[in-house]
Amino acid sequence: MKQAAFEQQYQNSWQHFSEWLAQRSSPKRAAMANDLPGGLADQHFPAAYRKICQQLAIAKRRGYSPALVAKLQEFADHGHAVLYRAPKVRLNKLLNFFAVEFPQLVRAQWRFMALSGALFFVPLIAMVVLLQYRPELAFSLFDGQQLAEFEAMYNPAKQGVRLARDDQTDVMMFGHYIFNNVSIGFRTFASGLLAGIGAIFVLLSNGFIIGGVAGHLTAIGYGGPFWQFVAGHSAPELLGIVISGGAGLQLGWALVAPGRYSRQRALVEAAQVGVKLVAGVFAMLVFAAFVEAFWSSIAAVPAVVKYVVGAGIWAFFGVYFWRGGRAVVASSLVAKHAR
């Protein structure tokens, strides 16, 4: 077939196809618009796109003019981008992620989670216990000025309406916790790529620092305000950092020991798991920031209530990661990476 006849034959369908693309390329308008009257119906788009692809192949094979081939290639590129557009985030998919997939993923990666937990909690608890017997060790962790700041924050004699800080700074501290803590969560994961070293460093140093502060304040008798303050948000915050660290460690492990994959493929696969874990951590840390800003600091709440609520939140996360999504068949991603 000569090119002119070819163009003649398909002119109309190309016209419809390009009109449809122009109307549907922008996702916002797509939601509102109906089918073009007399044009290409949405349901016929995939078939029309495949036809364009076939015509492009034919045009190349028959040596039609470069301009025609370029035009068909443009249709095909554009159609490809629309057809393979990333699906929208649906609410039920999001709910399913937090109810099922996230706890499943955490369990599937339990080895890395356990390692990460050990790297974080062992120094933390060790420091708390050690400082009760050797309080002077606090000075090898922090300098005098830092210690004075901690002591000023949690001095039982100086607690006002808000624990551990000035009055009327809830929103400011919420912003601070979001920016600071969530960023640390993200960086812990990403820095795990350096063969896990970044994540290990973050976990160990945070374990020592948090344990050091807690141990020192308890040893000098300022434990009351401190433990009341941290009881509520400790579960989501500490577990969030541990999971983030675990996600970073499994990413680093993919670099160290890629197994049967090529190194790049192993990293891509590990990052797909990791990014989902980080998405879960993100939610946990935002929740922690919320509790820390608006609940933990209320001095009027009796200590008992603070401790009961804190224990309740710990219990909730315990059950969540232990039982969450057990009744549901593991998704392919989880099953593939269960070790």
Chain residues binding other proteins by CB under 8 A are: 1-5, 27, 49-50, 53-54, 56-57, 62-67, 70-71, 73-74, 76-77, 80-81, 84-87, 89, 168-176, 178-179, 182-183, 186-187, 189-191, 193-194, 198, 264, 267-268, 271-272, 274-276, 278-279
Nearer to other proteins, 91 or 157 (CB): 91
Q: What sign has the CA pseudo-torsion 296, 297, 298, 302?
A: positive
Q: Give least dist CB 65 to other proteins, A.
A: 4
* C-alpha to C-alpha distance for 240 and 242, rounded to whole angstroms: 5
Nearer to other proteins, 2 or 339 (CB): 2
Q: Give least dist CB 86 to other proteins, A.
A: 3
* C-alpha to C-alpha distance for 290 and 42, rounded to whole angstroms: 44
* C-alpha to C-alpha distance for 42 and 31, rounded to whole angstroms: 12
Q: Give least dist CB 116 to other proteins, A.
A: 17
Residue 162's beta-bridge partner residues? 298
Question: Which residues neighbour 138 within 8 Å (Cβ) at sequence distance 6 or greater?
Answer: 131, 147, 212, 215, 216, 219
Q: Give least dist CB 69 to other proteins, A.
A: 9
Joined tokens for residue 190: 């990403």
Nearer to other proteins, 85 or 323 (CB): 85
Nearer to other proteins, 114 or 275 (CB): 275
DSSP letter string, 107-122: HHTHHHHHHHHHHHHH
Q: Give least dist CB 81 to other proteins, A.
A: 6
* C-alpha to C-alpha distance for 264 and 252, rounded to whole angstroms: 12
Nearer to other proteins, 105 or 124 (CB): 105
Q: Residue count of the chain, please give it.
A: 339
